[in-house]
């Protein structure tokens, strides 16, 4: 069979996803007794970087973090699941939606959304922004995510142009 499944799937929007899980530790606490927001943003950035590297197959750099919302606190011992999903690709940039879910391991509750946001990553070759592969959208759900990413990309570009 002469079909490169790995590379064919890599063109698909569903493939450009990463999930990671962490247990929250005492060194991540803030003075209020919950996990420091900066720790959660760091985790979001790392997972977005994994998504972007998978898609671009190269070095990436965080360009911007947007619309980060802390829905609920995260506490010591909580299990957090971080999901990063590529939703749009520009010429050299990639828009990644990242969500963090908390599971209280002690009482086995269903995961609940605690943080959400977007990370824009840029693909670099020799420290220069470089072309990334396009996306193939295969389902209704993927189309919704793609349109969200496209709209965000256009809004950000307009905002940057108007600020000059």
64-93: per-residue pLDDT in tens?
A: 999 999 999 999 989 999 999 999 999 999
Residues with Cβ within 8 Å of residue 161, at least 6 apart in sequence: none
pLDDT value at residue 138: 85
On average, the pLDDT of the chain sits at 88
Between CA 83 and CA 94 the distance in angstroms is 16
CA angle 5, 86, 144 (to 5 degrees): 100
pLDDT class of 12 with cuts at 50, 70, 90? low
Termini Cα distance of the chain: 54
User: Percentage of the chain surpassing pLDDT 70?
Assistant: 90
User: Percentage of the chain surpassing pLDDT 90?
Assistant: 63
- The answer to whether the CB of 60 falls within 8 A of the CB of 18 is no
pLDDT score of 157 more than 90: no
**Which tens digits make up the pLDDT trace of 101-145?**
999 877 767 889 999 999 999 999 999 999 999 888 888 888 999
Q: Which of 8-22, 57-71, 80-94 is predicted with the least confidence, judged by mean pLDDT?
A: 8-22
pLDDT value at residue 109: 74
């Amino acid at each position: 069979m002469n079909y490169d499944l790995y590379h064919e799937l890599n063109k698909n929007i569903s493939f450009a996803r990463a999930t990671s899980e962490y247990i929250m530790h005492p060194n991540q606490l803030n003075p209020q007794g919950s996990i420091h927001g900066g720790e959660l943003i760091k985790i979001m950035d790392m997972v977005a970087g994994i998504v972007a590297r998978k898609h671009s197959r190269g070095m990436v750099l965080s360009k911007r973090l947007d619309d980060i919302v802390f829905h609920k606190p995260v506490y010591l011992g909580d299990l957090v699941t971080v999901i990063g999903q590529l939703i749009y690709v520009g010429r050299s940039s990639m828009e990644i939606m990242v969500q963090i879910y908390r599971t209280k391991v002690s009482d086995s509750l269903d995961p609940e959304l605690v943080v959400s946001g977007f990370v824009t990553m840029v693909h670099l070759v020799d420290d220069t922004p470089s072309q990334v592969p396009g996306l193939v959208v295969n389902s209704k759900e993927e189309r919704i995510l793609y349109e969200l990413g496209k709209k965000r990309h256009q809004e950000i570009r307009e905002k940057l142009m108007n600020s000059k």
